[in-house]
Structure 1
Amino acid sequence: MKDAILHNPRCSKSRETLKLLQSHGVELPVIEYLQQPLSKAELREVCKLLGVKPLQIVRTKEALFDELGLTQDNGYSDAQWIDVLASHPKLMERPIVVYRGRAAIGRPPENVLSLLA
């Protein structure tokens, strides 16, 4: 996956992360993932770069999670969670910054500073 910020402009943490990057002179392509959902391959790569299982980037407190009848202990495989994220990008944690072959979740925004070192 190329360098980018997976961004939701309606999310305050996402906006703060984007500003933080810009204040450090880092201009990244902005992917509004709700408008341009990631492919399953891209989601797998993001998880690999983050060093997490797909469930770890699912927003389990999002109302949609409950509306879909999802639970964290439902026995889904990683592939099934990737399917959920691909079908429902609103459930993906945000923002995620991919930079120089590494990735970080901007919660809090300062988390992404580790990518700049």
Structure 2
Amino acid sequence: MQFHPNELFLLYNPQSNSGKQTKAMAKDICSNINEIDALHEKLIPTYWKEVVTMLGISPAELLDKSHPDYASKVGENSYTMEGWLEVLARNPQLLKAPIAIYNKRAIFCETPTDIMKLAVTAKAGEKILPHLRGNA
């Protein structure tokens, strides 16, 4: 999957409070937001694999163990990487928090303010045009 460098991808549940708050904060980072409704968009395991690779965490860490469906869908089972990706693809309601991708970085936004870590990266990664540089 290609992520455009001038777009912030927000993968979230738009009905959740944390999703709404994270989206509001995302507007401070980038005016071009590509919203991906985790509940209604069918995301294949390959997409999830790319996302977890960017995050650098296990797919199991993305799941909300307190969700009512967790026990029936996952329970005490152990899965391979491919199995966890299938669980995510088939049960997006278990996603614990929004995921934001911007400027080749991904953040798992366990709190809405976590998305601001991308703002720091965006500012650090901006190039200063030669005629705007100081004479240092």
Q: TM-score, normalised by structure 1?
A: 0.88
* Change in CA separation of 1:110 and 1:34 when aligned onto 2, cut-off 3 Å: same
Give the gaps of 5 or more residues in structure 1. none
Q: 1:115, CA displacement in angstroms?
A: 1.2
Deviation at 1:25, TM superposition (A): 4.3
- Supply the distance in 2 between the matched residues of 1:108 and 1:28 (Cα, whole angstroms): 19
In structure 2, runs of 5+ residues without a counterpart are 121-136
Aligned length: 115
The residue that corresponds to 2:85 in the other structure is 82
Would the alpha carbon gap of residues 86 and 69 (structure 1) be closer, same or farther in structure 2, given more than 3 Å must change? closer
Give aligned-pair identity as a percent.
24
- Which stretches of structure 1, 4 residues or more, deviate above 6 A after TM superposition? none
Structure with more contact order per residue of length (Cα contacts < 8 Å, sep ≥ 6): 1
Any idea what SS the aligned residue of 1:16 has?
Answer: helix
Q: Output the amino acid matched with 2:89.
A: A
Distance 2:96 2:32 in 1: 21
8 Å contact from structure 2 (residues 108, 114) kept in 1 = yes
Distance 2:56 2:86 in 1: 18
Paired position in structure 1 for 2:22: 17
2:102 pairs with 1:60: no
Length-normalised TM-score, structure 2: 0.77
